Amino acid sequence: MKKKIYITGCGGMLGEAFYLNFKDDYILRCTDRNVNEEWLSPLNIVDKGAYRKEVIQFNPDYLFHLAALANIEACTMNPERAYLVNTIAVETAVKIANELTIPILYISTAGIFDGTKSMQDDWEMPKPNNVYARSKYIGERYVVENAKRYFVFRAGWMMGGGPAKDKKFVQKLMLQLKQGAKELFIIDNQFGSITYTHDFAKNVKLLIEKKCFGLYNMANTGQTSRVEIAKELLKILGLEKEVKITIVDAGHFKNQYVLKRPHYESIENLKLNLLGLNIMRDWKVALREYIETYYTNYL
Ligand SMILES: NC(=O)c1ccc[n+]([C@@H]2O[C@H](COP(=O)([O-])OP(=O)(O)OC[C@H]3O[C@@H](n4cnc5c(N)ncnc54)[C@H](OP(=O)(O)O)[C@@H]3O)[C@@H](O)[C@H]2O)c1
């Protein structure tokens, strides 16, 4: 018999990939505060009573808590909202999962490190240095310390969902190209790990099937940088000669991004590798597939 999964925040970038990768093998109830698909129904995770009632009624085998305020600037400007959504609602989720004696899945971030080390493995000590990172890290700690059974996966620079859902770097570049940009301004000293939502969902599925509970780094293979991603993107699109990349420092974007980003947001899937459970592909392979799948006829 198919198992049941209740998913919050499923209308976002990652949620779409979870829906597509799990829907054939599981019975899903997908929710979000923003109902942007016919397969979604409404739930605001801040409403404790509604969250509990909904999940208990559905009686799932797993609770996937994806919902979050994932915009770093929004979290900085409204810390109370950030802690309500990213931290306190996680406590609600853990209590519901424990009440039903089911595992909870929580998504953490490479941003919980202070970015001074060039690569962070699963056992590196987090040191969050902004409201978003702090709110997510406290959520992570709450799950690990209180959930009876849990999966915590730390993702890197997310990419997925295409023009409709992607709020991140690749879509920002694609939009500029669509608008006819012949020059892209890219920060030169930011390094990180790409996380393609579909690769992530597939690796999560594997861990669930194998019942390998625990906390894992999960990003595509190979450290990269903003500049390298932009170059690779232009190569995939065949625009290397037509579009110029101009390297700038963070000051160039000071009006857009108030907060200084860590130098390194790179994570290594050391634990998955040691367990023989790492199926995350090279980031360049994932980027090509992403562009070919989601952006045909976009430009
Ligand atoms: N994006 C990244 O680079 C990244 C990296 C590492 C980890 N993560 C984590 O991955 C998870 C999924 O994020 P994502 O990348 O898919 O971001 P996303 O596209 O913003 O998805 C998050 C979804 O949660 C929804 N949401 C926000 N507040 C809610 C609430 N109170 N109740 C119910 N739904 C709510 C959002 O709706 P609105 O759009 O209306 O806010 C959005 O649809 C999050 O836990 C995030 O922290 C993301």
pLDDT tens string 131-151? 999 999 999 999 999 999 999
260 contacts 180 by C-beta, under 8 angstroms = no
The residues that bridge with 104 in the sheet, in sequence order, are 63, 150
Residues 162, 245, 242, 299: what is their CA dihedral angle, to the nearest 10 degrees?
Answer: 10
Ligand 1 centroid vs 293 CA: distance in angstroms?
A: 22
Question: Which of 64, 109, 130, 257 has the most ligand 1 atoms within 8 A of CB, as the residue to mutate?
Answer: 109
Q: How confident is the model at residue 146, as a pLDDT?
A: 98
Distance CA 189, CA 168 (A): 18
Answer yes or no: is the C-beta of 159 below 6 A from any ligand 1 atom.
no
Q: 234-244 pLDDT, tens per residue?
A: 999 999 999 99
Whether the pTM exceeds 0.85: the reply is yes
Take atom 2 of ligand 1 and give the residue whose Cα is closest: 158
What is the rounded CA–CA span in Å between residue 218 and residue 204?
A: 9
From 18, 35, 69, mutation site for ligand 1 pocket: most ligand atoms within 8 A of C-beta: 69
Res. 294 pLDDT band, cuts 50 70 90: very high
> What is the C-alpha separation between 144 and 125, in angstroms, rounded?
15
Backbone angles phi and psi of 107, in degrees to 5: -105, 120
Q: Would you tell me how many other CB atoms lie within 10 Å of the CB of residue 220?
A: 25
DSSP label at residue 250: G
Q: Is 168 in the pocket of ligand 1 (CB under 6 A)?
A: yes
